[in-house]
Amino acid sequence: MIILNVDDRPENRYLCETILRAAGHEVISAADGSEALALLRNMQCDLIVSDVVMPGMDGFQFCRAVKNAPATRSIPFVFFTAVYTEAKDEQFALSLGAARFLVKPLEPDQLVTELLAAARQPAPGPAAPLGPDPTAFLEEYNRRVVQKLETKLAEIEQLNTRLRESETRLRAIVEGTSDAVFVKDPTGRYLTINTAGAHFLGRTAAEIVGHSDRELYGEELAASRAAAERRLLLFGIVESCEETLRLPGETHSRHFHSVRGPMRENGGAIVGTFGISRDITERRHAEEKIRQLSRAIEQSPVTIVITNLAGTIEYVNPRFTGHWLLGRGGSRSKSADAQVRPPIARLLLRALAHDQDRPRVARHFREPQKERRVFLRAGRHRPG
């Protein structure tokens, strides 16, 4: 069977072609009613399958033209639509002489069965003679189109409302964070930036949007960031890095942890880059203070021993290990259970505690619920 397949969407034409050819039929496709009529002037077909909504000549107009021409009015005509789905739409389609009115989607087997059934039965004619006067057709056609447009407009308005609500929620999240969030176009110009990001740069968002890093930071920093953005655009990867920036009006540099990646449109094409940067300056300073404290403990002339709640020695500093020739990092740590705690306590009391400190240290070991951190005075330790 030769089937004329009419649909403006390439993916829909391909799907229908694949299903019908797999069922053993020959398929010829057209993108709208005008193209299909041109094909019908030079070919014979056994069945026409057509969408309704198409540019140029839509499905209703195409069906009327087919049924109005003596050479084609006997060809079974089947509507296959995902937009015109109401009962009045079907009624109007059948009044034009369509054999079937099918609503997408359908399972492949069901679609083939329906089309074969339409092809076997005699093609119905229009409910009323079409004639040269198109008034009746146009009136009903306009009613169907206007109603569908009104329905679609209402759906679009609902969708726009949901999009606005979603955008408002997203904007609240972006504006509520202390991280800088920004989006750039492929040339590196800012498309949007949140309040935190603008604050870091010492400007308002309006002063930043439309400008590049070269205009905001200067040549040296802009060059390094431009190189990173070229990688994102070229390879489509997401990068995480730490960077140090001296922001406008500040004498000291700030440290940032940044995540950057490609911005993609619905089809997957890269249309820009995004970035999220967190100020980690205070964390860096705290880490440096911890490192300084650690170095101070390591280099301290005072013996320092730290145990956990169970009495196990977790840490001793080099002063202790150098004096007692023990392993570093608790390699000689001992459990502080009932059998071992007294020897450890006596060892610490005898080896580390001055006479004036021994009562305090002894009380400490008699209170297992407390975390044991023993810091002894410089110069007050003595071996037994």
Q: What is the pLDDT of residues 289-338, one digit of tens each?
A: 999 988 998 888 888 888 877 777 788 888 877 655 444 444 444 443 33
**Do 364 and 370 meet the contact criterion of CB atoms below 8 Å apart?**
yes
Q: What is the DSSP letter of 123?
A: P
Backbone angles phi, psi at 258, to 5 degrees: -120, 145
Classify burial at 120, counting beta carbons within 10 Å of its beta carbon; exposed 0-12, middle 13-18, buried 19 or more: exposed
Residue type, 290: I
Tell me the CA distances in angstroms from 280 to 173, 175, 177, 245, 256, one per residue in order.
20, 19, 14, 12, 5
Q: What is the DSSP letter of 358?
A: H
Q: Length of the chain, please?
A: 384
Would you state the torsion angle of the CA atoms of residues 240, 242, 245, 251, taken in this order, to the nearest 10 degrees? 150
Instruction: For 107-140, write each residue's pLDDT tens digit.
Output: 999 999 999 999 988 767 665 544 445 666 667 6
Instruction: For 231-244, write each residue's pLDDT tens digit.
Output: 888 898 899 988 88
Q: What is the DSSP letter of 125?
A: -
| Tokens 């089809």 belong to residue | 267
Q: Which residues of 334-369 are buried (b: 16+ CB within 10 A; e: fewer)?
A: eebeeeebeebbeebbebbbeeebeeebeebbeeee
Ordered by where they begin, the domains of the chain are: 2-128 (3.40.50.2300), 178-284 (3.30.450.20), 300-375 (no CATH)
Q: Walk along the chain (384 residues) in steps of 10 and give the mean pLDDT of each run.
A: 95 95 96 95 94 89 91 94 86 91 93 93 63 61 72 80 89 91 93 92 89 81 82 89 78 89 88 93 92 89 81 80 51 40 52 57 54 45 42
Q: What percent of the chain has pLDDT over 90?
A: 41
**Do 230 and 245 meet the contact criterion of CB atoms below 8 Å apart?**
no
Does the pTM exceed 0.85? no
Instruction: Please state at what angle helix 87-95 crosses helix 135-176, rounded to 10 degrees.
Output: 150
